[in-house]
């Protein structure tokens, strides 16, 4: 899979209303429970500014380099971070290495977890009511943003 074809989740933080449906849908998809603590995406709230920012894995690979057990790789199918749970020994080095603070740790099972793109069908994207999340290539997202910006029109001036 070439780098140009790799899809990932892109966020439009200005569209996020903080409803946290993405967190609930994610945890339900992966764990069968509605628990934001078990979600692979989370909503960061900037209370003073009144904004919410969805945070998820950007597939930087720093966790792969940090794992002493070689339990982390990139999925050949999606390019997402893949954690081989049977190899994860709970060192948490990957959690510490994540510059975006989106690698999490499940204390009940003593394993790390992060976004796996739901095997190519991210539920957070599918269920986001504000369309603040997008699953596409970088080129597709750039074109989407450009088309969205072109839809912003100036107020119509009505001649007298």
Domains of the chain: 1-56+115-155 (3.30.70.20), 59-100 (3.30.70.20)
| Over residues 74-78, mean pLDDT | 94
With cut-offs at 50, 70 and 90, classify the pLDDT of residue 156: low
pLDDT of residue 5: 80
CA 72 to chain CA centroid, nearest Å: 17
pLDDT of residue 148: 84
| Mean of all residue pLDDT scores within the chain | 92
Provide the sign of the torsion angle of the four alpha carbons 87, 79, 56, 33, taken in this order. negative
pLDDT reading at 128 higher than 80: yes
pLDDT reading at 153 higher than 70: no
| Over residues 18-47, mean pLDDT | 96
| Over residues 88-94, mean pLDDT | 95
CA 14 to chain CA centroid, nearest Å: 16
pTM, 2 dp: 0.86
> DSSP class of residue 90?
S
For 48-71, the pLDDT digits (tens) are 988 999 999 999 999 999 999 999
């Amino acid at each position: 899979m070439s780098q140009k074809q790799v899809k990932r989740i892109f966020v439009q933080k200005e569209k996020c209303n903080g409803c946290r449906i993405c967190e609930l849908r994610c945890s339900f998809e992966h764990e069968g429970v509605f628990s934001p603590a078990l979600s692979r995406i989370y909503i960061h709230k900037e209370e003073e500014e009144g904004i919410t920012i969805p945070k998820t894995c950007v597939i930087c690979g720093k966790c792969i380099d940090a794992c002493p057990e070689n339990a982390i790789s990139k999925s050949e199918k999606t390019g997402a971070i893949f954690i081989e749970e049977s190899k994860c020994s709970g060192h948490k080095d990957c959690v510490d290495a994540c510059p975006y603070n989106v690698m999490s740790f499940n204390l009940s099972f003593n394993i790390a977890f992060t976004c796996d793109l739901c095997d190519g069908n991210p539920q957070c994207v599918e269920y986001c009511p504000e369309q603040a999340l997008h699953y596409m290539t970088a080129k597709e997202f750039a074109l989407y943003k450009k088309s969205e910006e072109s839809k912003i029109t100036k107020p119509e001036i009505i001649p007298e």
